[in-house]
Chain A
Amino acid sequence: MQYRGAEAISPPGEGLTIGDRTLRSRLILGSGGFTSLELLAGAVEASGTGLVTVAMRRVEATARGSLIALLDGLGVGVLPNTAGCFTARDAVRTAQLAREALETNWIKLEVIGDEQTLLPDAVELLVAAEQLVDDGFVVLPYTTDDPILARRLEDAGCAAVMPLGSPIGSGMGICNPYNIALICERAGVPVVLDAGVGTASDAALAMELGCAAVLCASAISRAEEPVAMARAIAAAVAAGHEARAAGRIPRRRLASASSPREGMPDLG
Chain B
Amino acid sequence: MIYVNGDEQQDAATVAALLERLGFGERARGVAVALDGEVVPRAEWHAARLAPGTRVEVVGAIQGG
A residues whose Cβ falls under 8 Å from a Cβ of B: 30-34, 40, 53-65, 67-68, 78-81, 83, 93, 96-102, 108, 110, 217
Contacts and interface: CB of A to CB of B under 8 A. Distances in A.
A107 B30 CA distance: 15
Interface residues of B, number: 26
Interface of B: 5-6, 22-24, 28-34, 37, 39-42, 57-65
A64 B37 CA distance: 21
A102 B61 contact: yes
A31 B61 CA distance: 11
B30 A68 contact: yes
A237 B62 CA distance: 26
B65 A32 contact: yes
B65 A54 contact: yes
Nearest to A96: B39
Given A61-B23, A64-B28, A53 B65 contact: yes
Contacts of B58: 58-59
B60 A101 contact: yes
Given A64-B30, A100-B41, A40 B59 contact: no
B64 A55 contact: yes
27 contacts: A30-B64, A31-B65, A32-B63, A33-B63, A34-B63, A54-B63, A55-B62, A55-B63, A57-B62, A58-B58, A59-B31, A59-B59, A61-B22, A63-B60, A64-B31, A64-B60, A65-B60, A68-B61, A81-B64, A81-B65, A83-B64, A93-B37, A97-B32, A97-B39, A97-B57, A101-B30, A101-B32
